[in-house]
């Protein structure tokens, strides 16, 4: 029987790839076997990091050279570390094994480096562009892969909503519950860093707080990151209606989404942000930038609103536009809830991934 090996970070990691495959596991075939790789830790001796990588490569070779192994899925990011580390996995994969590459992260700055570097382009050609199939998270990334000279098929996929996160969630009851809340809760959930637009978001909340209205607005920022302490100091000094929840998981994460009325995502660049898909699954209208794979599915004024820029005044205007239209928000909520159920649940994504694997293996058998 054909065995598919999937190279993933250890599932006790908090990273997006680990969580993705943890959620997919119950829905994949029993013939899909995970190969775990370690993660370089901060402040770790270089020698220990090198030995860890070598150990991972050796274990990978042993598993992929097994007779039953017919395909492997490698999950790199287009960035400094993953580009080199995961490229080596492509080089040491046996010729008999079909190679599927799923680009999970895409750093536009690193893309520019590749464009300017002959050496990086050669590495790309000798590794990732020799895959039998490539999966990306947006049509923009697909276009770039083809521009770089990739000749085989490219699929566009999404990240997922872990169905366990929605355990016990009842859409109609939650909509009724949200209407009874005394304030309108606007949520950002993710890494608290500059590129995610958290300062612009806080600037928008400051603009809204200056408006004298009867609508009580509260902002919730859930997550950790480099800007968290500075952001807390700013909010405290300005006495803004902002709460910080820290990193939330499982039941606490579900409660955070249940309490929200609107989700904001003003990021500068992305692949396919899980938090946006999760917000939709919980029936939240979304205000977002046009980044990564979001424009491939997001319907402006049906799922929420696109931001044309990340200026605080513009974000505030978009928020206020929706708050003045509760019936429109309710329509968006229901539409997003149903759309996420049909397209982003782990069971749905697993079926699409299994179809890709089957097609790749079918091509192998026909050759």
Q: What is the mean pLDDT of each run of 10 residues along the chain (367 residues)?
A: 82 75 92 85 77 93 95 94 93 96 93 96 97 97 97 96 95 96 95 96 93 85 96 96 94 97 95 95 98 96 97 97 96 98 97 96 68
pLDDT digits (tens, 9 = 90+) for 332-345: 999 999 999 999 99
Please give the pLDDT value at position 13.
60
**Number of other CB atoms surrounding residue 126 within 10 Å:** 12
Backbone angles phi, psi at 139, to 5 degrees: -65, -30
| Full 3-state SS string of 96-120 | CCEEEEECCEECHHHHHHHHHCHHH
Please give the pLDDT value at position 12.
63
Q: What does the DSSP assignment read for 176-209?
A: HHHHH-SSEEEEEES--SGGGTHHHHHHHHHHHH
Alpha carbon 350 to chain centroid, angstroms: 16
What is the Cα–Cα distance from 195 to 207, expressed in whole angstroms?
20
Q: In what order do the strands lie in the sheet with 217-222?
A: 242-246, 217-222, 184-189, 262-265, 286-288, 304-306
Please give the pLDDT value at position 242.
96
Please give the pLDDT value at position 14.
62
Please give the pLDDT value at position 365.
55
Contact criterion met (CB below 8 Å) for 198 and 235? no
273: helix, strand or coil: coil
Burial degree of 33 (CB within 10 A; 0-12, 13-18, 19+): middle
What is the Cα–Cα distance from 323 to 12, expressed in whole angstroms?
39
Find the helix or strand (DSSP H, E) in which 52 lies. helix 46-64
Angle at 299 between CA 195 and CA 157, to 5 degrees: 70
Please give the pLDDT value at position 211.
79
268: helix, strand or coil: coil
158: helix, strand or coil: coil
pLDDT digits (tens, 9 = 90+) for 79-93: 888 899 999 999 999
Contact criterion met (CB below 8 Å) for 260 and 327? no
pTM above 0.85, yes or no: yes
What is the Cα–Cα distance from 228 to 211, expressed in whole angstroms?
26
Sequence-distant (6+) residues with CB within 8 A of 118 are: none
Sequence-distant (6+) residues with CB within 8 A of 249 are: none
Please give the pLDDT value at position 10.
78
């Amino acid at each position: 029987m054909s065995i598919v090996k999937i190279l993933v970070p250890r599932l006790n990691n908090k990273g997006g790839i680990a969580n993705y495959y943890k959620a997919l596991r119950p829905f994949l075939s029993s013939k899909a076997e995970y190969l775990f790789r370690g993660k370089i830790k901060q402040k770790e001796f270089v020698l220990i990091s090198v030995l860890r990588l070598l150990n991972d490569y050796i274990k990978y070779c042993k598993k992929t050279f097994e007779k039953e192994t017919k395909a492997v899925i490698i999950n790199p990011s287009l960035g400094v570390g993953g580009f080199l580390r995961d490229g080596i996995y492509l080089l040491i994969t046996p010729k008999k094994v079909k190679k599927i590459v799923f680009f999970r992260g895409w750093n536009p700055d690193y893309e520019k480096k590749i464009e300017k570097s002959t050496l990086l382009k050669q590495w790309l050609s000798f590794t990732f562009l020799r895959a039998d199939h490539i999966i990306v998270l947006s049509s923009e990334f697909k276009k770039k892969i083809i521009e770089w000279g990739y000749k085989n098929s490219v699929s566009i996929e999404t990240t997922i909503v872990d169905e366990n996160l929605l355990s016990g969630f009842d859409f109609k009851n939650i909509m009724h519950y949200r209407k009874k809340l005394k304030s309108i809760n606007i949520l950002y959930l993710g890494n608290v860093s500059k590129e995610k637009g958290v300062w612009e978001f806080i600037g928008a909340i400051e603009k809204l707080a200056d408006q004298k209205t009867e609508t009580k607005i509260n902002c919730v920022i859930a997550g950790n990151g480099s800007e968290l302490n500075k952001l807390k100091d700013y909010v405290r000094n300005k006495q803004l209606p902002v709460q910080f929840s820290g990193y939330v998981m499982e039941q606490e994460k579900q409660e955070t989404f249940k309490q929200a009325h609107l989700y904001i995502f003003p990021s500068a660049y992305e692949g396919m942000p899980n938090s946006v898909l999760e917000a939709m699954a919980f029936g939240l209208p979304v205000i977002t930038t046009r980044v990564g794979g979001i424009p491939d599915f997001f319907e402006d004024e049906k799922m929420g609103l696109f931001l044309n820029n990340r200026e605080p005044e513009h974000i505030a205007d978009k928020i206020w536009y929706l708050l003045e239209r509760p019936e429109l928000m309710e329509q968006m909520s229901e539409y997003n809830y149903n759309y996420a159920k049909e397209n982003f649940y782990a069971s749905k994504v697993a079926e699409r991934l299994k179809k890709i694997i089957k097609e790749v293996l079918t091509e192998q058998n026909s050759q």
